[in-house]
Amino acid sequence: MKKITIIDYGTSNLKSINAAFNYLGYSTLITNDKKKILDSDLLVLPGVGSFPVVMQYLTKHCLDIPIKEHIKKNKPFLGICLGMQVLFEYSYEFKKTNGLSVLKGEVNNLMDMNSSKNILIPNTGWTALKRNNLFNQKNLITISKNMNFFFTHSFFVKPKNKRIISSYISFGKEQICSSVQYKNIFGMQFHPEKSGNKGLNLLEKFCKL
Amino acid sequence: MPLKRIISRLDIKGPNLVKGINLEGLRVLGNPDFFSKNYYYAGADEIIYHDCVASLYEKKYLLDFINKASSNVFIPVSVGGGIKTLKDIELILKNGADKVFINSAAIKKPKFLEEAVKNFGSSTISISIEANKKKDNQYYCFYDYGREKSNRRVKDWIDEVQSKGAGEIILTSILKDGTGEGFDIGLLDLVHKIIKVPLIIHGGAGNSNHVSDVLKYKNVSGVAISSMLHYSLIQSDKFIFENKKEGNTSYLLSNDKYFSSRFENTSISQIKKKLKKKRLDIRV
């Protein structure tokens, strides 16, 4: 049985993500113990709260080290929402804060987009994913008509390398990155654990990696 | 723009799902777990739990329902009613809710809203507004499940909560709640132009045309429906009533057809089909 570990950093709503894995028949370990994190086959970093608070927690408890180790060993890693955002170099949430710098790029405020004047923020609700033509790996996410996922966020990632963007969503007349995939790293701005069957199917695919 | 949401709203009193008219005269309808599970499978986009009494003792029922929902309902769950402290919010989130909504505590102390947003983030904190007209024919915010009046006008309060970081607004019309007469369009016309965060309209849905009437507004992100969905489910073959021996159960035990005449007998999937035909952006 694969060891699926969910990183516990206090504020996050771990219950639903854990419940989703259990529903799929996988048991998980929820922990902030460095050794146990290093020992896992699949690592999940959920995300609720704010960028500076999460980064402060991760560095204070030295969890950045086992996360990077896990990724270096080429084992599958999933970052959800804020859990994806912290993989990048820095974010402008409240103040400029450094992230884990596993991926190159930054995290910006939706309010700073040109389209933001006519759009309700936070960006909350179900949205269809769109294909990125520059992405040419085997995509974990099958992008087809009616592939709707649940989003709720005010910040979004801007990867430097556009080829790691595995899907986009529309934001007014612009588009923003809704997921990334680079080697063994998977990041989702939406919540697969809150996106009904399609979300559960996606998590199952991750479990089978 | 995200798709328009069809949200099922469950009002909870102690161990039971309840529903009234104008937020009054609550009738017991059954076990909330049964309803939320059915709505999830019928294609609901979100579930709202509203605790009507929210006394400390009775909160344990609510937490239990959220707990169960988080393990078999894989869509967002929003919870409110009687939230007074940051500890309350933490407890509700820890038990599996994704969002909480606040009314009374924010009206009494707007700074509480700011504190909640700072601690849990905008997208986790919604504001619930119970609106009704007073004698001067203006809409004001009510609280404590519609029992108390405040001096805050709805429009002013929306401006204020948006500036204080509320991530979403759930707007209930007390006058239309439980009537099936259609949503309060006058109220919606008053506020929709000043909306900057997602707005959920609640109170009055009696058929799918009522739903499409409000979803046509650009700034309406979704509708919350309770009576129409509950009474339809009760009339279906699937329905099983578990008597918890608490509250007014006479409605379910009688053969009252008053309500079935006011609400279209439907389901979330049927409503969505009709909305889709009208070319509204809906998740199917």
A positions 151-170 inside 8 Å of B (CB): 151-154, 170
Distance from CA of A35 to the nearest CA of B (A): 25
Give residue-wise pLDDT tens across range B82-100.
999 999 998 899 899 999 9
DSSP A29-92: EEE--HHHHHT-SEEEE---S-HHHHHHHHHHTT-HHHHHHHHHTT--EEEETHHHHTTSSEE-
User: What's the half-sphere exposure (Cβ side, CA atoms, 13 Å) at B61?
Assistant: 23
Assess if residue B284 is contained within a domain: no
A125 and B124 within 8 Å at the Cβ level: the answer is no
For residue B27, the Cα-to-chain-centroid distance in whole angstroms is 16
Find out whether A179 and A129 touch, Cβ atoms under 8 Å: yes
Distance from CA of A147 to the nearest CA of B (A): 9
Question: Which DSSP symbol is given to B218?
Answer: T
Decide if A193 is catalytic. yes
Q: What percent of chain B has pLDDT over 90?
A: 74
Assess if residue B157 is contained within a domain: yes
Task: Calculate the dihedral angle through the C-alpha atoms of A107, A205, B93, B156, rounding to the nearest 10 degrees.
Answer: 50
Task: Name the E strands within B145-262.
Answer: 148-153, 168-173, 199-202, 222-225
A125 and B221 within 8 Å at the Cβ level: the answer is yes
The rounded average pLDDT for each run of 10 residues, N- to C-terminus, in chain A (209 residues) is 89 83 96 95 89 91 96 97 96 93 97 85 96 96 93 96 97 94 97 96 96
B2 and A151 within 8 Å at the Cβ level: the answer is yes
Domains in chain A, please, with CATH? Answer: 4-207 (3.40.50.880)
**Res B56 pLDDT > 60:** no
Assess if residue B25 is contained within a domain: yes
For residue B198, the Cα-to-chain-centroid distance in whole angstroms is 14
CATH, residue B241: 3.20.20.70
The set of catalytic residues of B is 11, 130
Domain that holds residue B10: 5-277
Assess if residue B128 is contained within a domain: yes
Q: Which of B40, B45, B74, B193 to mutate to test the interface with A (most CBs of A within 10 A)?
A: B74
ipTM over 0.90: yes
pLDDT of residue B116: 94
Q: Which residues, in sequence order, are bridge partners of residue B199?
A: B169
Assess if residue B283 is contained within a domain: no
Gap between the Cα atoms of B149 and B138, Å rounded: 12
- How many structural domains are present in chain B? 1
Give residue-wise pLDDT tens across range B8-40.
999 999 899 999 999 888 888 899 999 999 999
A21: chain B residues, CB-CB within 8 Å: none
| Interface membership of A94 toward B (CB under 8 Å) | no
